[in-house]
Amino acid sequence: MELINLQTLWFILVALLFAGYSILDGFDLGVGMLLPFITEKKKEKDILIASIGPVWDGNEVWLITGGGALFAAFPQAYATAFSGFYLAMMLVLFSLIFRAVSMEFRAHDTARAGFWEASFSIGSFIASLLFGVALGNVVYGVPLGTDMEYAGNFFTLLRPVPLVFGVLGLCAILAQGGAYAALKSEGKVRESAFNALEYILPVYFVLSAVYMLVINIFVKNIVASPFFMAGAAMVFAGLTAAMAARVKAREGLVFISTSAALAGLWIITAAAHFPNLIKASNSPVLNITITNASTSQMTLTLMSWIALIGMPVVIGYTIFVYRIFKGKAKADIY
């Protein structure tokens, strides 16, 4: 296979891994953020935490795999992103670590359960927002030097447009969390999750439209891309279906629809971004692309054979785990 085809293939595979992570870990981050708002009693909180307890660590494997694939296939992009966004990345990592610790400590340090629940929710919020902001900066562009190094600082990342992208990502994750909470719970918790979605989904719809408008402004002729149009159709169809399914209290359809909408956002992002990996806001000449950031053809070929074997295993394992833990969550299983 020609080098450019391998580079394109790995652009798609890395995007798929991060999209899979956002859909899967998105719902447990969303559950974490919604925990204080849709539950009151300890048993209700136990049910929601039990719903994500068996799967949250497996979901984060997709993030680790995506980061590893980015490092192996496009080491220059990995180096620029992870060194330039160092403080933001550390905040994300500490948030993910602290929320995991909070789940365990809550179960054993009952005297301070409220503190650990708050830590769990705050950690989920910080990670969700910063993930969206980081992706927004990569797509919108950051200042880069001729050496492909990030030339800004932490506050450069907090510009208006990337923050809009970050808020959209936050809203998408909240929708995933609300849909999953309704899917895995019964009674008052399920009802509260549906009530939360009544407000989240319309905001999600509006922010998605704003996101597409902004992309149309700074990416020329993007509307001519069939991938952009397909992604936009998935987003609006998914969110419309989710809102209709919420009214009918069909929680399974709500979750499938919000997941499809989130996948559509990733398709739009990939269509607008390709062949770039990190855009340079100061000069298009400095863009980090799949061609100037990739590893050798031999390495990409070897990785492709490994992925051909490994990806079905990861997908199969994920399906197996969710089949094992399907159905409504119980407060005493985690």
User: Both tokens of residue 8?
Assistant: 């394109």
Is there a domain that residue 329 lies in? Answer: no
Is there a domain that residue 193 lies in? Answer: yes
pLDDT tens across 106-141, in order? 888 888 888 999 999 999 999 999 888 988 888 888
Distances in Å between the Cα of 230 and the Cα atoms of 16, 209, 226, 261, 275 are 16, 14, 6, 11, 18
Is there a domain that residue 331 lies in? Answer: no
Please, which residues bridge with residue 278 across strands? 288
Is there a domain that residue 140 lies in? Answer: yes
Is there a domain that residue 175 lies in? Answer: yes
User: Both tokens of residue 232?
Assistant: 């936009």
Rounded to 5 degrees, φ, ψ at 43 are: -65, -35
Distances in Å between the Cα of 334 and the Cα atoms of 113, 152, 189, 222, 317 are 15, 44, 17, 47, 20
CA dihedral sign, ordered 176, 310, 267, 137: positive
Give the domain range for residue 93.
Answer: 3-324
Is there a domain that residue 149 lies in? Answer: yes
**Cα–Cα distance measured from residue 244 to residue 183, given in angstroms and rounded to the nearest whole number:** 16
**Cα–Cα distance measured from residue 234 to residue 226, given in angstroms and rounded to the nearest whole number:** 12
Is there a domain that residue 71 lies in? Answer: yes
Residue matched to tokens 């597409």: 212
The overall average pLDDT reported for the chain is: 90
pTM of the model: 0.92
Based on the structure, what is the number of domains in the chain? 1
Is there a domain that residue 164 lies in? Answer: yes
User: Both tokens of residue 77?
Assistant: 């992009």
In this predicted structure, the answer to whether residue 156 has a pLDDT above a threshold of 50 is yes
pLDDT tens across 45-101, in order? 988 998 898 888 888 888 888 989 999 999 999 998 888 888 888 888 889 888 888
pLDDT tens across 193-238, in order? 999 999 999 999 999 999 999 888 888 788 888 999 999 999 999 9
